[in-house]
Amino acid sequence: MPAFGNPLGLLALLGIPAVLAIHFLQRKAKELPVSTLFLLEHTRREAVGGRRIERLVPSIPLWMQLLAVLILTWFLSEPRYPREGSVQRIAVVVDSSASMAVFKQAAADKVLQAVPLLKGSASEVSLTVLESVPERPRLHAGTSTEGLAEALEAWQPRDGPVDPTQALRLARSLVSPEGSVVYVTDTPSATPLPFDAVEIAVGEAIDNVGFTGVSFTREEGALIWKAMVRNHGKSMAERTWSVISREGASEARVLRMEPGSITTLQAAFPEGATQLRVVLSADRFTLDDVLPLVAPRPKPLVVFNASPASIQDLSGRLIRALESAQPGNDAASADLSITAYNPLDPSPPSGNCVVFVEDETRTGAWLKGGIIAEAHPLMDGLNWQSLLVRETIPLEQKPGDLVLLRQEQRPLILLREAGQAKQLLFNFDPALSNLEKQPAFIVLLHRFAERIRSAKIAPVSANLETGQALTIAAAPGLPLSLRATDIEGRELPAPKGGVRRAISSPGFMSVNQGDTRLLDAAVHFGDPREADFRLCAASDMTPGGGAGAIERHTKKDPLWRAWILALIACLLVSWRFIRGGRKEPQPVTT
């Protein structure tokens, strides 16, 4: 089947109705008085008229002109024949955002429909399917559309919103400038895609109600879970919800929600239960219709408070504010110590600790100069400009100390990592400063305490979001094992990425190191951006290989000169018969 280098040439087929119309008008019935009508009765089968469709008389000029139109159409549309061994490379980048789960089948159908169009006249096709997250492995690479269909069938989009630019760049580099890059998404982009990518949008603005997050509180000793539910749609929604635990399911309750509204569902976590599910009646986007929960149990943090008397009250409040913080009796057994450093009686701090200088001289002048914070996660976003500090005897600074805050050249806060121990050193006496009134101070202490907690090897129960990054403190040398189940308790295959991230689908997971349980987690979908389908739509951009692809994969019609000669011959024959038919008018009067 030849391809057409100039499909617009097919418009020349309009010449066929034009020729027929001209012949029809030319063949308008001539009025003729005839006295031999009774003889025409013998030819009634062919001659009786009245049906307009039979009024056109086939003639050699007519056939010649129709043939000329067909030849002209053939010539103008520039037929091209497939070139042996030509390959069209096609890279399909699929939007891996979770909302595509709803339109996965439609996306697969569209892609399979688009492949023949993209293949065009090429004799072979090379297919590569990538996710819009560029670091993911290819979903498919091969030549068969069956493999492509299977890859798309097995594909599970679970990510958040992803900028496809990098994936498109990678796709373009894979297929070279002559190949085709297709981006399949559910939300049409407002601007043209880069790298000459063709967009196929298969979305639809569906209504969706789902969980957007969960929090826990303790009220009267009971653990209360609070789940937020949002109606992402544009119309009133009615759903039912129930809680399913090991003991069974609660009675379904009706939930009516205005468009865009958020409702909080809450209940006490059943005594003795370790996990449960809150389930909404299903809609098309099912990922956020279930909220698996475990009773959260953070790692306990044992804090030994040996802070100077000047901040004893403050540090006591800090410790109480820390989640799951327990007071310790000595620095050796504590996870974190808050201690003082007396320059007159210097002793190096040990273990994880927060150290304050305790200067009993109290005679220093106010430090002057600009306060500069180091770019460090502990200091991120903290404002220290209102900090006022008097000069004190400084700590002994070691080479590996990282200055987190300094005033002019004088270090104020340092971070010291001595082996496994992490020490936050305040190089001034808090009693000779307004540190107690600095919000940044409170936040810094909390951040540091959480660092200590996260590095502690201890079991933890947590409620995570799908794909959330995990930081699991584990003993070195022993591998971690992950076990995951879906909502219904069916075993899930272990993620290829190991235990770096939570599972990508709602469910439960646990991480062990040997026989030691390090993590029990419930994983829920918690990305409200993907649950909102109001901007989803379909677009009908038809992909095609373009004229360049046709030229690459096909060769010119070798008979084009013959077609021109045939066209001229048809016109000459038609002209000859028309001329021959125009005889002198005879007395046609019968």
**Cα–Cα distance measured from residue 110 to residue 91, given in angstroms and rounded to the nearest whole number:** 14
**Cα–Cα distance measured from residue 555 to residue 79, given in angstroms and rounded to the nearest whole number:** 9
Look-up of token digits 């569209």: 110
| Residue among 33 and 85 whose Cβ is closer to another protein | 33
Query: Of 218, 496, 561, 583, which one interacts with another protein (CB under 8 A)?
Result: 583
| Residue among 85 and 587 whose Cβ is closer to another protein | 587
Q: Which two tokens stand for residue 468?
A: 């959330």
State the minimum distance, in angstroms, from the CB of residue 125 to another protein. 52
389-422 as b/e, with b when 16 or more CB fall inside 10 Å?
bbbbbbbeeeeebebbbbbeebbbbbbbeeeeeb
**Cα–Cα distance measured from residue 552 to residue 548, given in angstroms and rounded to the nearest whole number:** 6
State the minimum distance, in angstroms, from the CB of residue 22 to another protein. 13
Q: DSSP per residue over 240-261, as a string?
A: EEEEEETTEEPPPEEEEE-TT-
Interacting stretch for another protein, rule CB under 8 A, among 30-38, 294-302, 404-412, 456-464? 30-38
State the minimum distance, in angstroms, from the CB of residue 587 to another protein. 5
Of 215, 211, 213, the C-alpha closest to 226 is 215
Q: Is 218 in the site for another protein (CB under 8 A)?
A: no
CA atoms within 13 A on the CB side of 499: 19
State the minimum distance, in angstroms, from the CB of residue 47 to another protein. 5
State the minimum distance, in angstroms, from the CB of residue 575 to another protein. 18
Q: Is 10 left (phi over 0), alpha (psi -120 to 50) or beta?
A: alpha
| Residue among 47 and 309 whose Cβ is closer to another protein | 47
Interacting stretch for another protein, rule CB under 8 A, among 327-335, 410-418, 463-471, 579-587? 579-587
Q: Is 584 in the site for another protein (CB under 8 A)?
A: no
State the minimum distance, in angstroms, from the CB of residue 2 to another protein. 37
State the minimum distance, in angstroms, from the CB of residue 45 to another protein. 9
State the minimum distance, in angstroms, from the CB of residue 62 to another protein. 11
Q: Which residues contact 302 (CB under 8 A, 6 or more apart)?
A: 325, 326, 327, 328, 333, 334, 335, 336
Of 514, 473, 479, 509, the C-alpha closest to 494 is 509
**Cα–Cα distance measured from residue 528 to residue 445, given in angstroms and rounded to the nearest whole number:** 32
Q: How far is CA 223 from CA 267, 271, 450, 474, 521, in A?
A: 9, 9, 22, 28, 16
**Cα–Cα distance measured from residue 207 to residue 232, given in angstroms and rounded to the nearest whole number:** 7
Residue 502's SS3 state is coil
Q: What angle do CA 326, 328, 334 make, to 5 degrees?
A: 100
| Residue among 54 and 196 whose Cβ is closer to another protein | 54
| Residue among 55 and 226 whose Cβ is closer to another protein | 55
Decide: 472 and 511 in contact? Cβ < 8 Å: yes
Q: Is 582 in the site for another protein (CB under 8 A)?
A: no
Query: Of 1, 29, 154, 190, which one interacts with another protein (CB under 8 A)?
Result: 29
Of 198, 195, 229, the C-alpha closest to 213 is 229
Cα dihedral 495, 498, 504, 507 in deg (nearest 10):
80
| Residue among 39 and 236 whose Cβ is closer to another protein | 39
Q: How many CB atoms lie within 10 A of CB 247?
A: 11
Q: What angle do CA 516, 519, 522 make, to 5 degrees?
A: 145
State the minimum distance, in angstroms, from the CB of residue 561 to another protein. 35
**Cα–Cα distance measured from residue 537 to residue 161, given in angstroms and rounded to the nearest whole number:** 16
**Cα–Cα distance measured from residue 327 to residue 303, given in angstroms and rounded to the nearest whole number:** 5
**Total residues interacting with another protein, rule: CB under 8 A:** 32
Q: Which residues contact 410 (CB under 8 A, 6 or more apart)?
A: 367, 369, 394, 427
Interacting stretch for another protein, rule CB under 8 A, among 21-29, 133-141, 318-326, 328-336? 21-29
Q: Is 437 in the site for another protein (CB under 8 A)?
A: no
State the minimum distance, in angstroms, from the CB of residue 572 to another protein. 21
Q: Is 579 in the site for another protein (CB under 8 A)?
A: no
**Cα–Cα distance measured from residue 547 to residue 8, given in angstroms and rounded to the nearest whole number:** 12
Task: Give the type of residue at 497.
Answer: G
| Residue among 454 and 590 whose Cβ is closer to another protein | 590
State the minimum distance, in angstroms, from the CB of residue 567 to another protein. 26
Decide: 319 and 303 in contact? Cβ < 8 Å: yes
Interacting stretch for another protein, rule CB under 8 A, among 3-11, 32-40, 383-391, 527-535? 32-40
Q: How many CB atoms lie within 10 A of CB 586?
A: 6
Query: Of 1, 30, 345, 409, which one interacts with another protein (CB under 8 A)?
Result: 30
Stretch 34-73 residues interacting with another protein (CB under 8 A):
34-40, 42-43, 46-50, 54-55, 57-59
| Residue among 8 and 40 whose Cβ is closer to another protein | 40
| Residue among 368 and 583 whose Cβ is closer to another protein | 583
| Residue among 37 and 154 whose Cβ is closer to another protein | 37
State the minimum distance, in angstroms, from the CB of residue 583 to another protein. 7
| Residue among 23 and 299 whose Cβ is closer to another protein | 23
| Residue among 43 and 420 whose Cβ is closer to another protein | 43
| Residue among 32 and 154 whose Cβ is closer to another protein | 32
State the minimum distance, in angstroms, from the CB of residue 19 to another protein. 15
Q: Is 588 in the site for another protein (CB under 8 A)?
A: yes
Query: Of 28, 490, 561, 582, which one interacts with another protein (CB under 8 A)?
Result: 28
| Residue among 44 and 490 whose Cβ is closer to another protein | 44
State the minimum distance, in angstroms, from the CB of residue 24 to another protein. 9
Residues 463-502, mask of contacts with another protein (x by CB under 8 A): ----------------------------------------
**Cα–Cα distance measured from residue 123 to residue 85, given in angstroms and rounded to the nearest whole number:** 6
| Residue among 37 and 469 whose Cβ is closer to another protein | 37
State the minimum distance, in angstroms, from the CB of residue 542 to another protein. 45
Stretch 94-133 residues interacting with another protein (CB under 8 A):
none
**Cα–Cα distance measured from residue 248 to residue 268, given in angstroms and rounded to the nearest whole number:** 15
The residues binding another protein (CB under 8 A) are 27-40, 42-43, 46-50, 54-55, 57-59, 583, 586-590
